[in-house]
Structures are given as structure tokens and as C-alpha cells.
């Protein structure tokens, strides 16, 4: 008999939901977390009466009602609609790409005029089947929007040429022929009132959590403390990089408290040129209309990632996906280890998807 039923590595969304569900059916869980707080990347902290998203803007959005109801048991959500603005060399454009953007870019006033312009630019670029992000973007919105609103931002974000990136990344963004600046197409969207950390605190009520504890600092001890391990860190690190290193993208957040009420008038402004070193500035109070005489902003700088640093984005191109599949084959043969979340499953997951895959993992466990 081991001391715990489950050792859960990582107190992010995956680890916390898994622990919550297992605790509910009487399983004894221990969570270890290398950071000094719970919540992983959705962690928020109150500063100046404002909930600050410490690891970048987090907007909850989902189409699936069951997942919306699931997360709503832990918090009430406001009715925030994300409508970021793009700043290209000082000129502002609405996002995602919609009739407002097309009007600002070309002066076109009807959907047909916008479609004709995009079609003309797509033909000029001679694209029949989009093989990469550059071609996909030009076929969706034309060359002008690609050059001003996509190319610089994307190459900063990923550190690679758009022609070397997979097309699916840009398909995350809606393209609309209506005057609608809602960044997401999902039915449900909002920000939890009181911040995301409260959600995770609720999930972890009554569950033992050890912070500042890295699995790899005492791997043998942790491997033997529970009947099963749920691992939400990097899958290649778990296997000591035996097949080679997966690539990740890093980020740096520069936070500033300003002695003014309103800095930029919107929660998210993207800087889409290639020279500005950051991709976006977030002004946190606009996520939930926080009343404060001060404001807190965060500049988000993408950067290359190297071992030992915080990994933020998996890079799901062909080369890395192939390597990940080798790790996954190994992981599938494990009886006592479950890999979960963005790093354990090496997938560019939004929060709703993490909830979905965690609940699937919980169901699979219950049925074993």
C-alpha cells in the first residue's frame, strides 16, 4: 500500500481538476508544484484592487455547454467579450479580421467589396492550396492584412518565418464579413469574478499541496509515493529527453503599475509590427471593469526557450509532432503514469480543452 492513491505533478488546471474529481470519490491525492503558487498559467493576483493575470491575458471561452456549466460551479463569470485592437506602426485596426478591419485597411464598405479585394490579392499571390501559415493567411485575408497584422506579430510570437509555421495556428482566429469585433465564435465567454486563482483554490479545498517542489529534484521518492502519477510537466523531460528535445516557446512578462486611471482604453492591444519587441500590452482592469485610481499593465515579450526555463507554448509543427508521437507511444504503455495538459500532452490547448481532456482522463480512470 502506497501513501497516496495519486501523486499529481503540477497545480495547473489539469492537475487541479483531476485532484478535485478524485478527491470527490474518496481518493487520496498529493499535488506537488514547482512554482510558489497554485493555478499554473491561469494564476491571477490582486494588485491595486485589480485582478492581474500574471501569465498573460486569459479569457475563458467555450462552445460546449457542459464545460461552461462545469467551470461555473467554481465561480460566477462576467460577460466580457474580447475585442483586441491591433497597433501597426501607430495606426489602429480592429481584430479579429472583420468588416471594421477591412474598412480601416481598404475603405471598403460592403462584404462583397471586401471579398473581392481578398480574392484579388489571393490570386495575385498565386495560392491554390495553402501549405503553411503565410499562404493560409493570404488566402483568408489577403496580402495587406497579412503584411500589417499577421506577419510581424506571428514571427515575433513563434521565432520562425510564417512560411515555416503550420497553417492551423492562424485558423484559430475568426474571419468575418460582419461588423463584429468579438475575438471568439464560441457561445460562452467571460472572466471569472474574483479571478482565476479563486477557482483553483475551490478545486483544491481539502487536498494536500506542496509548493516549491520540483518532481525532478527527488524523482525516485515521488515515483514511489503513490499508486499512480499524473504528470502535467514536460513529457520529454519526464523521459530524460531519451528521444531528443521537443521545442517550446518562451515568454517574459513585464508588469508595471501606473499612476493613472486608464492607460490604453482596452484590455488587449497587439503590436503587430516586427520592430516593437513585445507582442501585446494588457491592461488588466478592463477585463472586469475594476474600479481603481491606478492601473496595472503587462507587456508580453516572446522569446526563445532553453532547458530550465518556463515553457509556455508547445511548437506543434511536423518535426515536433513526430517526436512527440514517439514519446506518446512510450507513455501509452505506462500502467501507472497519466500525462496531461499543455506540456504533458504537448498541445496548444485553451482552457476549455484542458477541462475536456481532464474529465476524459478522470472517466477513463474511474472505468479501469
Of 65-73, 150-158, 259-267, 330-338, which segment contacts ligand UDP by CB under 6 A? 150-158
Whichever of 113 and 350 has its CB closer to ligand FAD, that residue is 350
Q: ω before 121 within 30° of 0 (cis)?
A: no
When asked if residue 14 is in the footprint of ligand FAD (CB under 6 A), the reply is: yes
- First-to-last alpha carbon distance for the chain, in angstroms, is 18
Residue nearer to ligand UDP on the CB measure, 132 or 214: 132
Q: How far is CA 66 from the centre of its chain?
A: 20
Residues 256-275 that bind ligand UDP (CB under 6 A): 270, 272
Instruction: Please count the other Cβ atoms lying within 10 Å of the Cβ belonging to residue 258.
Output: 13
Over its C-alpha atoms, the chain yields an Rg (Å, rounded) of 22
What residues between 75 and 94 interact with ligand UDP by CB under 6 A? 86
Q: Using the rule CB under 6 A, is 235 a contact of ligand FAD?
A: no
Query: In Å, how far are 16, 27, 38, 74, 186 from 208, measured between CA atoms?
Result: 11, 12, 12, 19, 35
C-alpha cell at 161: 518565418
CA dist 8 → 23, 330, 331 (Å) = 12, 19, 16
Q: How far is CA 34 from the centre of its chain?
A: 19
Residue 12 found at the interface with ligand FAD (CB under 6 A): yes
Single residue of 19, 22, 29, 42 touching ligand FAD by CB under 6 A: 42
Residue 150 CB, shortest distance to ligand UDP, in Å, is 4
Residue 170 binds which entry of ligand UDP, ligand FAD, none, with Cβ cut-offs from 5 to 8 Å by kind? ligand UDP
Report the alpha-carbon distance of residue 330 to residue 122 in Å, rounded: 43
Asked whether 44 and 51 are in contact (CB, 8 A), the reply is: yes
Segment contacting ligand UDP by CB under 6 A, of 20-28, 167-175, 184-192, 217-225: 167-175
- Which residues neighbour 227 within 8 Å (Cβ) at sequence distance 6 or greater? 2, 4, 5, 6, 336
Of 40 and 142, the one with the shorter C-beta distance to ligand FAD is 40
**86, interface contact from ligand FAD, ligand UDP, none, CB < 5-8 Å by kind:** ligand UDP
Min separation Cβ 34 and ligand FAD, Å: 4
Q: Does 14 bind ligand UDP (CB under 6 A)?
A: no
Which of 95, 282, 338, 345 touches ligand UDP (CB under 6 A)? 95
Residue 215 partner contact from ligand UDP, ligand FAD, none using kind-dependent CB cut-offs of 5 to 8 Å: ligand FAD
The dihedral built from the CA positions of residue 67, 69, 75 and 78, taken in this order, carries a sign that is positive
The DSSP letter of residue 315 is: -
> Is residue 307 involved in binding ligand UDP (CB under 6 A)?
no
Q: CA neighbours within 13 Å on the CB side: how many for 279? A: 22
Strands 248-258 and 268-271: unpaired
Binding-site partner at residue 35 among ligand FAD, ligand UDP, none, CB < 5 to 8 Å by type: ligand FAD
Residues 6 or more apart whose CB falls under 8 angstroms from that of 76 comprise 192, 193
Catalytic residue IDs:
172, 176, 249, 280, 300, 348, 350
* 199 scored as a contact of ligand FAD (CB under 6 A): no
DSSP state at residue 311: P
If one asks whether residue 41 binds ligand FAD (CB under 6 A), the answer comes out as yes
- Residue 58 contacts which entry, ligand UDP, ligand FAD, none (Cβ below 5-8 A, type-dependent): ligand FAD
- C-alpha cell of residue 273: 509590427
**Residues in 17-56 at the binding interface with ligand UDP, rule: CB under 6 A:** none
What are the residues binding ligand FAD (CB under 6 A)?
Answer: 9-15, 32-35, 40-42, 55-60, 214-216, 232-233, 251, 312, 341-343, 349-352, 354
Residues in contact with ligand UDP by the rule CB under 6 A: 86, 95, 149-150, 153-154, 157, 169-170, 172-173, 270, 272
Amino acid at each position: 500500500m502506497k501513501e497516496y492513491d495519486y501523486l499529481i505533478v503540477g497545480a495547473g488546471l489539469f492537475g487541479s481538476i483531476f485532484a478535485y474529481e478524485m478527491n470527490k470519490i474518496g481518493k487520496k491525492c498529493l499535488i506537488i508544484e514547482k512554482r510558489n503558487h497554485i493555478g499554473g498559467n491561469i494564476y491571477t493576483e490582486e494588485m491595486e484592487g485589480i485582478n492581474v493575470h500574471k501569465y498573460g491575458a486569459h479569457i475563458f471561452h467555450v462552445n460546449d455547454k457542459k464545460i461552461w456549466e462545469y467551470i461555473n460551479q467554481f465561480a460566477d463569470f462576467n460577460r466580457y467579450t474580447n475585442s483586441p485592437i491591433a497597433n501597426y506602426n501607430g495606426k489602429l485596426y480592429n481584430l479579429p479580421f472583420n468588416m471594421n478591419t477591412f474598412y480601416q485597411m481598404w475603405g471598403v464598405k460592403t462584404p462583397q467589396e471586401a471579398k473581392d479585394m481578398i480574392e484579388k490579392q489571393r490570386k495575385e499571390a498565386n495560392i491554390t492550396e495553402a501549405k503553411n501559415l503565410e499562404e493560409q493567411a493570404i488566402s483568408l485575408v489577403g496580402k495587406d492584412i497579412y503584411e500589417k497584422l499577421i506577419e510581424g506579430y506571428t514571427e515575433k510570437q513563434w521565432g520562425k518565418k510564417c512560411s515555416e509555421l503550420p497553417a492551423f495556428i492562424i485558423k484559430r482566429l475568426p474571419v468575418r464579413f460582419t461588423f463584429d469585433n468579438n475575438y471568439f465564435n464560441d457561445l460562452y465567454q467571460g472572466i471569472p469574478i474574483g479571478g482565476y486563482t479563486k477557482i483553483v483554490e475551490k478545486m483544491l479545498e481539502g487536498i494536500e499541496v506542496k509548493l516549491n517542489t520540483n518532481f525532478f529534484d527527488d524523482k525516485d521518492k515521488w515515483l514511489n509515493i503513490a499508486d499512480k502519477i499524473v504528470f502535467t510537466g514536460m513529457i520529454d523531460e519526464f523521459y530524460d529527453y531519451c528521444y531528443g528535445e521537443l521545442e517550446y516557446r518562451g515568454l517574459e512578462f513585464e508588469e508595471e503599475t501606473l499612476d493613472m486611471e486608464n492607460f490604453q482604453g482596452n484590455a488587449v492591444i497587439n503590436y503587430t509590427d516586427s520592430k516593437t519587441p513585445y507582442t501585446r500590452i494588457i491592461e488588466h482592469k478592463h477585463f472586469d471593469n475594476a474600479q481603481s485610481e491606478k492601473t496595472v499593465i503587462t507587456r508580453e515579450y516572446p522569446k526563445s526557450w532553453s532547458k530550465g526555463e518556463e515553457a509556455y507554448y508547445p511548437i506543434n509543427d511536423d518535426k515536433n509532432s513526430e517526436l512527440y508521437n514517439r514519446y506518446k507511444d512510450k507513455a501509452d504503455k505506462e500502467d501507472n503514469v497519466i500525462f496531461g495538459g499543455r506540456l504533458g500532452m504537448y498541445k496548444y490547448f485553451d482552457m476549455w480543452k484542458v477541462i475536456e481532456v481532464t474529465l476524459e482522463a478522470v472517466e477513463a480512470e474511474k472505468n479501469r
